[in-house]
Structures are given as C-alpha cells and as structure tokens.
Amino acid sequence: MVSALRATRAAGDAATQPPVEPPVEPPVIDLHDVHKVYGQGAAAVHAVRGITLRVNRGDYVAVMGASGSGKSTLMHIVGCLDVPSSGRYLLEGIDIGELDESQLALVRNRKVGFVFQSFNLLPRTTTVQNVELPLAYAGVRRPERRHRALAALELVGLREIADRTPRTLSGGQQQRAAVARAIVTNPSLLLADEPTGNLDSAATRELLAVLDRSHAGGGTIVVVTHEREVAAHARRVVNIRDGRVIGDRVQVPSGSPESPTDEAVD
C-alpha cells in the first residue's frame, strides 16, 4: 500500500518536473574581492586591492592601466603563477585557494597559456621543440607532440621556420612562436601581458591577427596592454588603477564585421 503510494507519487513527480536544464558553465575567471600584498610591515606593497571580476568562455578582454597599477600581479594570479593574499579565485569552477603547489602547477599547465612581453623562448632549441615543451610537461607522447606543435605553428603562420632556433627569428616571429607555445595545449585561457611591447607596428598587426584567429576559434583571451590599437581588438576593456577596477565596458572590436571603422580603414 505504502509502496504503491510512493510509486504513484514518484510517477506524478516525474510527469510534472520541468525539463532538465543543461548544467550552467562556470565562468573561466571568477575573482571575488582579491587582494595581493607583497612584503610586510612598512615595506608592504598593496598591489591588488579588492578586485572582483568575471570572464566567461569566449570573452576577449583587454586590461589597461598605468605602469604599477597591478596588471601583471593580477595576471599572475589569474594564470596561477601566484596566489591571492586574500579573496577567492575560481578558475573554471576550481577554487585555486584550495590547491597545493603541485596541483596549482597542474592546473596552470592544463588550463592556462601565457605570453609575456619578452617572448621567453629557449634560444638554442628549435622553434618546434619550444612549442612542444608544454605538451612534454603534460605527458603527451613524442609523435603526437610534434604533430600538435606543427599544427600550432601553422596556425600562427610559422610552419616553415619550425626547425630554426628562436635567435634566428625576428621579434614578431618569436612572439608568434610564443603564442603557438601558449595555445598548443588547447588551454581554457590565453593570457598575454603586454605581448606587443617589444614589437614594431607590422609585427603588432600580425600578432593581433593571430589573437583574433584564436578568439574566433573559441578561445578566451585576456591581454594586458598600454596600446589602444591592441585594446581595440578586444570585446571588453577593463581599466585598472591602484589595484582596483575603475572601468569595465564592452565594445565592438575593430576587425569584426560589426565594426563601423573597418570601411574607413580598408
């Protein structure tokens, strides 16, 4: 009797239940009141002062702000190279504060690709071997490693110079190789800290085209920059001052079909 009642109730519940919603995807970046203090006492530097920020999959964000405003500190936290002094950071729903050093390194390797102003390629190792390196750390086997590294180099237009060493390349080529190395693991997030700081305008344009392509392929990108031309390619611009977010706006990126400036440029 009781079990029959239960069965009826269960069937009734099933009939009236709403369709199952797909699971909500967590933001790629989810920062809650994050602070970073370097040093202690009188020498303490409060580099990040309470940043709350969300970045969703497929977003393309430019972070702008004066030198010393805390942009690189923020990128190091977002990229799991450093941890907040206080506050909470979730990367694709993973609470970074709960990880130990080796787990942090694993998350960084799997989820984040980093591009720095100063390329940071190994100068005497071939370009393709440089690009393979994060895959080697991730335990990907040799033949697949080579295959994926060459595909990443193809994507940034450097397939032909795969066997050359970085010191024989131009700055622009080195930086595109650095992007290939950053995206070869297919990371959830591509972070670039002033990636065009050492590039001339032609190399800057080529790098921006590579970032645009990566974004069009579904990539999530955060780029720190002083240059308006670089920020113009993003869909969102976050302004930082003295370790705080003072502006956050969406924009129509240059180079997109919606951009009104394109006709004037062409």
- Virtual torsion, Cα 220, 224, 225, 229, nearest 10 deg: 10
Using rule CB under 5 A, residue 73 touches Mg ion: no
The number of angstroms, rounded, from the C-alpha of 258 to the middle of its chain's C-alpha atoms is: 24
- Percent helix, strand and coil across the chain, each to the nearest 5: 40, 25, 35
Residue 123 binding partner per list Mg ion, ligand ADP, none, with a CB distance cut-off of 5 to 8 Å that depends on partner kind: none
| Least distance to ligand ADP, CB of residue 43, Å | 8
Tokens at 250, concatenated: 């969406």
Q: What angle do helix axes 127-137 and 171-183 make, rounded to 10 degrees? A: 20
Nearer to Mg ion, 110 or 244 (CB): 244
- Provide the minimum distance between the beta carbon of 87 and ligand ADP in the complex, in angstroms, as a whole number: 16
Q: Which does 102 bind (CB under 5 to 8 A by kind): ligand ADP, Mg ion, none?
A: none
Interatomic CA distance for residues 47 and 72, integer angstroms: 9
Size of the site for Mg ion (CB under 5 A): 2
Q: Which does 38 bind (CB under 5 to 8 A by kind): ligand ADP, Mg ion, none?
A: ligand ADP
Residue 73 interacting entry, from ligand ADP, Mg ion, none, C-beta within 5 to 8 Å by type? ligand ADP
Q: What is the smallest separation between the CB atom of 158 and ligand ADP, expressed in angstroms? A: 28
DSSP 98: G
Is the CB of 82 or the CB of 92 nearer to Mg ion? 82
Q: By rule CB under 5 A, what string of x and - marks binding of each residue 126-165 to Mg ion?
A: ----------------------------------------
Token readout for 132 is 């393979």
**Beta bridge pairs of residue 38:** 45
Smallest gap from residue 69 Cβ to Mg ion (A)? 8
Distance CA 146, CA 122 (A): 17
**Site residues (CB under 6 A) for ligand ADP?**
38-39, 45, 47, 65, 67-73
Neighbour count for residue 150 (Cβ, 10 Å) = 18
Q: SS3 for 209? A: helix
Instruction: Match 């102003």 to its residue by tokens.
Output: 117
Q: Which of 48, 55, 69, 72 binds Mg ion (CB under 5 A)?
A: 72
Asked whether the beta carbons of 179 and 115 are under 8 A apart, the reply is: yes
User: Toward Mg ion, which CB reaches closer, 70 or 84?
Assistant: 70
Please say which residue, 72 or 173, places its beta carbon nearer to Mg ion. 72
Q: Which residue's CB is nearer to Mg ion, number 85 or number 118?
A: 118
Q: Residue 26 burial by CB count (10 A; 0-12/13-18/19+): exposed, middle or buried?
A: middle
The span from the CA of 238 to the CA of 249, in Å, is 7
Q: Please state the closest distance from residue 25 (CB atom) to ligand ADP, in A.
A: 29
Q: Which is nearer to ligand ADP, 73 or 129 (CB)?
A: 73
Binding site for Mg ion (CB under 5 A): 71-72
